[in-house]
């Protein structure tokens, strides 16, 4: 498991339960978390599976979302509802391992969309985009935050939403989301800049901020993976 299984019991106002009806009595501030993509990005930064100190805390993320919703409410958007959903794949045979994490997320107030990982085409990109589009019908969004580095899937749809005047933020790791960092219409927020999301600072090293003594850059995956995927580097 590469995301937090240890959700704090600290009490705070709950995020409203997910309502999949097509009613829009109140506008929503929507957070969508791309778990497969962010798991891969965090693993690349750490050079392996994260320990408890380096797993994101979804209770802290929930507090930040509620604060962001309150800020947007004061900007004349009326009564707003915060909604957070984690989208994830479930690999064959992993249900028992993933179940405690899913239940912990739901206990905090996050909805979870889980999809079997049958093949390479069974990812959750289209499901996330469909959900964002569904919530945006009839001007139903007062703000949207997407936690992902997948610019191929999200850049154009999010820029189209931003062009309508809806505040759009991309959350992630700046090393992997240059498309959002440099965008003129999207706001980027590094996950490590959200208070409390990580217990300890991530051991981040980038080529444009190397220490004078140099630094080791760990491989994204073991060499043995070449025997499985037969993918080379040219």
DSSP 118: -
Residue 60 lies in a domain: yes
In a domain, 224, yes or no: yes
Count, residues in the chain: 234
- Of 154, 149, 104, whose CA–CA distance to 128 is shortest? 154
Which tokens go with 104?
A: 């912990």
DSSP 187-224: EEEEGGGSTTS-SS------TTS--TT------SS-GG
Please state the domain count of the chain: 1
pLDDT in tens, 10-69: 333 444 445 555 444 689 999 999 999 999 999 988 888 888 889 999 999 999 999 999
What CATH number has the domain bearing residue 176?
3.40.50.1010
Is residue 20 included in any domain, yes or no?
no
Is residue 222 included in any domain, yes or no? yes
Contact assessment for residue 188 and residue 181, using Cβ atoms and an 8 Å cutoff: yes
Question: What residue numbers bound the domain in which 210 lies?
Answer: 27-229
User: Which 8-state DSSP code applies to residue 139?
Assistant: G
The answer to the question of residue 130 being in a domain is yes
> Which of 23, 107, 115 shows the shortest CA–CA distance to 62?
107
pLDDT, tens only, 90-104 = 999 999 999 999 999
Domain membership of residue 22 (yes or no) is no
């Amino acid at each position: 498991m590469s995301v937090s299984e240890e959700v704090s019991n600290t009490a705070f106002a709950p995020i409203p339960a997910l309502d999949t009806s097509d009613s829009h009595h109140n506008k929503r501030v929507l957070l969508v978390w791309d778990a497969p993509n962010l798991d891969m990005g965090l693993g690349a930064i750490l050079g392996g599976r994260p320990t408890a100190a380096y797993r994101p805390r979804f209770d802290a993320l929930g507090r930040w979302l509620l604060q962001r919703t309150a800020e947007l409410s004061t900007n004349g958007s009326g009564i707003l509802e915060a909604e957070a959903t984690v989208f994830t794949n479930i690999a064959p045979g992993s249900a028992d391992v993933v179940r405690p994490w899913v239940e912990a997320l739901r206990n905090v107030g996050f909805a979870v969309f889980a999809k079997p990982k049958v093949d390479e085409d069974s990812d959750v990109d289209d499901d996330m985009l469909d959900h964002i589009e569904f919530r945006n019908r009839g001007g139903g969004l007062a703000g949207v935050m997407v936690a992902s580095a997948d610019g191929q899937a999200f850049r154009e749809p999010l820029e189209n939403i931003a062009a309508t005047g809806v505040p759009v933020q991309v959350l992630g790791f700046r090393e992997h989301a240059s498309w959002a960092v440099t965008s003129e219409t999207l706001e980027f927020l590094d996950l490590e800049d959200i208070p409390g999301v990580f217990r300890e600072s991530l051991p981040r090293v980038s080529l444009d901020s190397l220490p004078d003594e140099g630094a080791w850059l760990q491989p994204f995956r073991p060499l043995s993976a070449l025997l499985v995927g037969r993918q080379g580097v040219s």
